[in-house]
């Protein structure tokens, strides 16, 4: 409650709510009660949200990465593209380091591997496991060999899968084509990195898979991989590479052109005119306006020549003969 200059009380909402009832008459108590109730029930003022200057109207959705499925040797049955996709997923997951390795015997298996891009190197390993599956299981994902010891497309021993930390840790799990291929590539990533070879001296991949020990099967697998586009160079990456130091400096075409030698046909000497023709062994010449460098040139039977290009020319000026060099110096 406040007071005017004359002493009359002035009531406000805040002041009225802080005054006890015994200090006011009955009417004023009712007014103060209504004021307090309106203050308690009033809603706070809503401020508009502050927008950032960096905010965008809509968030762009990420573009899905297109996966190019390389050619593989999965036989003639359809629906096996998923096996290649599973192999690619492993090469970008647990076996991501495998395409980064350049085995010392890789030229035997894939001549262009060393200079190929990442996609072509991944395609080689997908092709290798597919041609290995031909000789291990003849593309039968549920086959069990070795008297119940080896399972799936790549015929993997469950204890070996567990030792390398594969997701498939049992025989039944290894019958899953995707898990079997993922486990096989995980093993290859370890053994190829360890030995630095694909199969030389029965190390690398050959350390765990028997078909590499058979000359016939090994040569069949080599022949197949070498004939594929990712190993013949037809699918080589278009990424630019630096120019080799051994290459010579590129020749500029303008510099490579031979100098133009004008053809001069001798003509009979004519009487000198006011334009000071040249009488020389090259024939008849007429002076032309000076070049930007100040040196005059001459039209010798249609060919424009400088004094230095003429064979000992002489100039006829006012009845006297001067060397061409002296005549040219007058215009410099």
- Give the domain CATH number at 189: 1.10.530
Q: Which region among 48-52, 104-108, 220-224 has the lowest average model confidence (pLDDT)? A: 48-52
The answer, yes or no, to whether residue 303 has pLDDT greater than 90, is no
pLDDT in tens, 30-43: 766 766 655 555 55
* 318: confidence class by pLDDT, cuts 50, 70, 90: very low
Residue 78 has pLDDT above 60, yes or no: yes
pLDDT number for residue 32: 64
pTM of the model as a whole? 0.54
CB count in 10 Å sphere of residue 123: 30
Last residue within a domain, chosen from 171, 205, 232: 232
Residue at 95 is within a domain:
yes
Least confident of 24-28, 85-89, 126-130, 170-174: 24-28
Last residue in a domain, options 177, 197, 232: 232
Q: What is the pLDDT of residue 50?
A: 72
Q: Counting beta carbons within 10 angstroms of the beta carbon of residue 50, is it exposed (0 to 12), middle (13 to 18) or buried (19 or more)?
A: exposed
Question: What is the rounded average pLDDT of the residues 249-262?
Answer: 57
- Total tally of structural domains belonging to the chain: 3
Tell me if 57 is assigned to some domain.
no
Res 130 pLDDT > 50: yes
112 domain residue, yes or no: yes
Helix (H) or strand (E) holding 120: helix 118-137
> Is residue 269 a part of any domain in this protein?
no
Range of the domain at 6: 2-40
Sequence-ordered strand ranges (E) for the chain: 2-3, 9-10, 144-145, 150-151, 278-280, 283-288, 297-300, 303-305, 314-317, 320-323
Q: What's the average model confidence in pLDDT over 60-65?
A: 64
Per-residue pLDDT tens over the stretch 91-108:
999 999 999 999 999 999
pLDDT at 194: 97
Give first-to-last CA distance, the chain, whole Å.
Answer: 106
């Amino acid at each position: 409650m406040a007071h005017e200059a004359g002493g009359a009380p002035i009531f406000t909402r805040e002041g009225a709510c802080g005054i006890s009832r015994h200090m006011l008459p009955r009417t004023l108590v009712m007014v103060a009660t209504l004021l307090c109730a309106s203050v308690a029930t009033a809603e706070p003022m809503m401020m508009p949200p502050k927008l950032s200057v960096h905010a965008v109207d809509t968030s762009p959705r990420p573009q899905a990465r297109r996966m190019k499925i390389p050619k593989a040797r999965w036989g003639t049955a359809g629906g096996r593209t998923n096996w290649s996709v599973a192999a690619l997923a492993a090469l970008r997951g647990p076996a991501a380091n495998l395409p980064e390795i350049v085995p010392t015997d890789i030229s035997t298996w894939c001549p262009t591997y060393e200079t190929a891009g990442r996609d072509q190197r991944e395609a080689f390993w997908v092709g290798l496991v597919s041609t290995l599956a031909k000789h291990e299981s003849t593309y039968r994902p549920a086959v069990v060999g070795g008297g119940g010891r080896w399972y799936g497309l790549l015929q993997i021993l469950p204890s070996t899968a567990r030792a390398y930390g594969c997701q498939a840790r049992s025989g039944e799990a290894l019958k899953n084509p995707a898990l079997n291929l993922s486990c096989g590539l995980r093993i290859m990533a370890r053994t190829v990195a360890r030995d630095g070879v694909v199969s030389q001296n029965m190390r690398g991949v050959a350390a765990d898979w028997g078909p590499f020990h058979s000359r016939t099967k090994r040569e069949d697998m080599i022949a197949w991989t070498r004939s594929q586009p990712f190993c013949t160079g037809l699918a080589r990456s278009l990424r630019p590479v630096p120019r080799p130091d051994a290459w010579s400096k590129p020749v500029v075409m303008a510099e490579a052109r031979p100098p133009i030698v004008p053809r001069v046909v001798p003509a009979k000497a004519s009487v000198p005119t006011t334009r000071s023709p040249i009488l020389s062994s090259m024939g008849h010449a007429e002076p032309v306006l000076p070049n930007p460098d100040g040196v005059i040139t001459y039209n010798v039977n249609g060919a424009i020549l400088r004094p230095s290009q003429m064979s000992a020319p002489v100039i006829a000026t006012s009845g006297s003969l001067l060397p061409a060099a002296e005549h040219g110096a007058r215009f410099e």
